[in-house]
Structure 1
Amino acid sequence: MDKVTVELGATHQASAATLSRAEDFKEKGNDALKAFKFPLAIEMYTTAISLNPTAIYYSNRAAAHIKMESYGLALEDASEAIKIDPSYIKAYYRRASANLPLGHLKDALRDYRTVVKMKPSSAEAKSKMKQCEQLIRQAAFAEAIQSERHRPLSETIDVSALVVDSSYDGPHLPETTPTIEFVTDVLDHFKRGKLLHRKYALQILLQMKAMLQALPTLLRIPLGTESQAHITSDLIVSMAGQFYDVCNIFALNGLPSETNPYLFNGDFVDRGSFSLEVVLTLFIMKLAFPDHVHLLRGNHESKNMNKIYGFEGEVKHKYDEVVMNLFSEVFNWLPLAACIESKILVVHGGLFHQDNVTLNDIMKIDRNREPPESGRHHIWRWHALLDGTGDCPALSMRCMDKLNGFCIIGLMSDLMWSDPQPFPGRGPSKRGIGLSFGPDVTKAFLAYNNLGTQLMAMCVDHADLLVRSHEVKDEGYLVEHDEKCITVFSAPNYCDQMGNKGAFIQFFRDLKPRFTKFTAVVRPAMDMYRIAANTATGTPAHSTHGVCGQHGRHVWIVVAHPVA
């Protein structure tokens, strides 16, 4: 495609030919969007905007950004569309659709109410408005309940009274540690479309919380002694609730064991009709192999994401609210980072808004909480905002680092949400949370923490490295930032739309990454749509862009209105 550069002055009117070209690019963008080629759609809409910046073009690009989960960019485009044409209804709808996944419920509700006011006959807009109001009420109710509850649910629930009746035909949880036989039996049971007994699910969650509470926020993972080097590796996986693709990884690389360790890099849920099966499988494997299965927290292991993206609805459908509340407790205790052999840092998202963050700072993070929305919002200078007690008035929590002048808890959001960018420096996040960080930021962080220099005596020839996930990559992985940053994404054909490969990474004693790519597998045809539709985020049945196929979830980010 030829590059198009057009400069419009304040009073310049585009020619008829230019307007026609802009419309052609817009139509190409629409075709790409319908074909699930979202990056191409964004490119086409961007060219159309450069020729003729209209509300329709900005709004359509916002729709494509929403499909790419670039909610920050979607908010900018939708707001620009409203600025250009305050009467353009779809722009308000799309801004609401971008605000909702970010947890900006009141902002989303404001726009939904605007849509209803502008188009009172829209049953869909009224439904979205009511659903958003319901989410706000639920959040307020949950906060009130939590303030009244002095002890967490895990400390008050009694599972001993629960009885496993004779009609249950699934595997029985061992009284001691789960065995590999139990792991394989559970996988087979899940493949048949059946669930573990509720008692066993509760017991697994309680055992997981106890185990995770004892772990540090930053895991230190060795690869074994020299005598074990030929059989010891560590495999990094980032799936997204796609149970049958997770099973395929085990078919390709084997089940976890003492000689086949795994690190699962967050976002276990919210991406599938089988998110529950995925996360229970991983929890059972962690209990069976506590030193050889490692689980890190992703941005979707949180209450807000679970409510918006379907995991809460799935769990309540398959079990109940008690089980869901226990999941939330367990998620809060998942570690946030892992360091392999003091040379490779693994996180779900990325790096930080500020320089000179240390691994010790990460270790200090009080992770037993819902993640703050943005690390940028939790940085302050001590002389300006401290009230004399060491507390942060805005957060009502005690700061943990007075030396560098930033609140360590603010780092949590960056670890879970940030993304790399190809150019130097830092920039705003396309998602609206976290930030974008350049190759210079990656290099400086690794150097400041001596990653890659602590084991020089081993004479390994692979340098320092950051491994993260959080983004779809066409080939399942991407090496960037002068080979100092790797993104790995293990969910192939994401949302049954993207056509991407999945990948996982293996590290042996030489610490060289070895990549395995794979494609999506055939899974059973199961009608899981009604599960998500029963949640507060149900999407009207006529919408063709709101269903994520295998994932079977209906989400707020649906492009229910066709592009213009």
Structure 2
Amino acid sequence: MTEKTIANNQRQVGSSKAKILMRGVTEQQLLDLAHSARALFMSEPVLVHITSPLIIVGDLHGQHTDLLQYFKRCGKPPDQKYLFLGDYVDRGRQSLETISLILAYKLKYPDKLAVLRGNHECSRINRIYGFYDECKRRYSTKLWKVFTDCFNCLPLAALVDNSMFCAHGGLSPDLKKLEQLNEIRRPTEVPDMGIICDLLWSDPDGSYAGWKENERGVSYTFGEDALIRFMNDCNVKLVVRAHQVVEDGYEFFADKKVNFE
């Protein structure tokens, strides 16, 4: 997919029909995009190292216009560096536009974007919550399969300036040292338990200490003491995560030790 195609898609965003946004973009172009992005992600570590200044973006969920607003307000790559925390697809009507634009920019400016995996970059989840249906309706189920294969190769976490740990969901009781992330092999589906699952699904909860089963039915919630222990063990000063809606767009937890995007 060319930069010209990206620009055309951006100009067409005012249309009321999502299909028009992808006019002129063939299924083969999207397949090639996903294949190329997959190869790029496989060349990156599971824990991506990135430096500030940068813009950190949480869940987008198919809200293509929101993504364009971020670029308009904060600047587009390569003029601005971005870290995306996952959940690009499902729920919104324009998952294909959203993920395709991010992947195209990632391929064009690989050092200016870090793209992490969210819990919706998982075939078992996006098969149900909209992405599968969107791919099938607008192109084919083959496109969905190729995109989900690409998602299985996404990095799981980022370390900003060697001091800020970023992941879609949060922490894991099994993650004691950041070096453990290098042992994860991709491509991989999201398992029902363990470090990968927890990085994508866990939530902070300041109402108790330690770890507790998550009410989502997946992974855990972690208290302030578990957070502080992780930060001390891994020598980080801040944890940044997404995964939950916050009223003001961002929110702090545990005396500003965790930031919600």
Q: d(CA) in 2 for partners of 1:321 and 1:183?
A: 23
Q: Is the 2:170–2:200 Cα contact (8 Å) retained in structure 1?
A: yes
Post-superposition Cα deviations, 1:219-273, rounded to whole Å, max 9, x if no partner, equal 01123xxxxxxxxx2110012211111111112112121x410011100001211
Deviation at 1:186, TM superposition (A): 2.9
User: Structure with the greater relative contact order (CA < 8 A, sep ≥ 6): 1 or 2?
Assistant: 2
Contact 1:332/1:368 (CA < 8 Å) preserved in 2?
Answer: yes
Q: Distance in 1 between matches of 2:240 and 2:259?
A: 5
The within-5 A match list for 1:446-525 is: 446-451=231-236, 464-488=237-261
Equivalence for 1:311: 131
Aligned to 2:150, what secondary structure does the other structure show? helix
1:445 alignment partner, SS class: helix
* Alpha-carbon offset, residue 189 of structure 1: 4.2
Over aligned residue pairs, what C-alpha RMSD do you find?
1.4
Listed as ranges, the matches of 1:283-362 within 5 Å are: 283-354=103-174, 357-362=176-181
Identity %: 33
Any gaps of 5 or more consecutive residues in structure 1? Answer: 1-172, 224-232, 375-409, 452-463, 489-564
Quick one: which amino acid aligns to residue 411 of structure 1? I
Aligned equivalent of 1:430, options 206, 215, 231? 215
Structure 2 equivalent of residue 71 of structure 1 = none
Measured in 1, the distance between the counterparts of 2:36 and 2:80 equals 23
SS in 1 for 2:44: coil
**Residue identity opposite 2:189 in structure 1:** E
2:21 aligned residue (176, 194, 200): 194
Report the Cα offset of residue 424 of structure 1: 2.0
The aligned amino acid for 1:359 is: L
Contact 1:439 1:482 survives alignment (8 Å) = no
Correspondence for 2:198 among 395, 403, 414: 414
TM-superposed deviation, 1:366: 1.8
> C-alpha separation between the residues in 1 aligned to 2:256 and 2:186?
30
Tell me which residue corresponds to 2:35.
Answer: 206
- Point out 4+ residue stretches in structure 1 off by more than 6 angstroms: none
- Equivalent residue letter for 1:450: N
Partner SS for 2:21: coil
Residue 362 (structure 1) shift: 1.5
Of residues 46, 50, 60 in structure 2, which corresponds to 1:217? 46
Cα offsets for 1:330-355 (capped at 9, x unmatched): 0000000000010000000011124x
- Does the CA contact (< 8 Å) of 2:244 and 2:260 recur in 1? yes
CA shift for structure 1 position 318: 0.7
Shift of 1:313: 0.6
CA deviation string 1:100-147 (max 9, x = no partner): xxxxxxxxxxxxxxxxxxxxxxxxxxxxxxxxxxxxxxxxxxxxxxxx
2:48 is aligned with 1:248: no
Counterpart in the other structure of 1:260: 80
For 1:368 and 1:241, how far apart are their aligned partners in 2? Answer: 23
Q: Is the 8 A contact 1:190 1:277 kept in 2?
A: no
Query: What is the distance in 2 between the residues matched to 1:349 and 1:297?
Result: 10
Matching residue's letter, 2:116: L
Provide TM-score, normalisation by structure 2: 0.93
Alpha-carbon separation, structure 2, partners of 1:293 and 1:243: 17
Residues 234 and 320 (structure 1 numbering): CA distance in 2 closer, same or farther, change over 3 Å? same
For each residue in 1:41-90, what CA deviation from the matched residue of structure 2 results, as whole angstroms up to 9, or x when unmatched?
Answer: xxxxxxxxxxxxxxxxxxxxxxxxxxxxxxxxxxxxxxxxxxxxxxxxxx
Aligned length: 253
- Structure ID, larger Rg: 1
Helix, strand or coil for the counterpart of 1:308? coil
- Provide the TM-score with structure 1 as the length reference: 0.44
| Structure 2: gaps (5+ residues) | none
**How far apart, in 2, do the equivalents of 1:191 and 1:435 lie?**
41
